Amino acid sequence: MDDERFILEIEKHTVLYDITNPFYKDNAKKEKAWRLIAGVVGVEVDVCRTRWKTLRDAFVKNRKNTNLPSGSAGGNQKDWKYSEIMSFLLPHLQPRRSV
């Protein structure tokens, strides 16, 4: 699967990542979006969902590691290869509350 093409297809379907989308909680709309994406990239829906979770998690982890305060251990973090094309997610990422 071509990850860049896959990410660009995901971007077209805001119902999958934008919680302000009125249909975000509509599972039928999400399922339809996944079927459309799967048809375009030529893989099964389950593979698409798993790949998206992997890519999204990697994007979030990379963002977290590149935003470390100065002086933090770990050295310089290389920019992840899909950071730029996944930047459409930035307004939709919310940090989790800590206890």
| Per-domain residue ranges of the chain | 3-64+82-89
Closest to 79 in 3D by CA, of 59, 51, 95, 57 = 59
- The per-residue pLDDT for 25 is 97
Q: For the chain, what percent of residues have pLDDT higher than 90?
A: 73
Contact 41, 2 (CB under 8 A): yes
- The per-residue pLDDT for 37 is 98
Task: State pTM to two decimals.
Answer: 0.83
Closest to 33 in 3D by CA, of 51, 52, 46, 16 = 16
Closest to 15 in 3D by CA, of 28, 6, 2 = 28
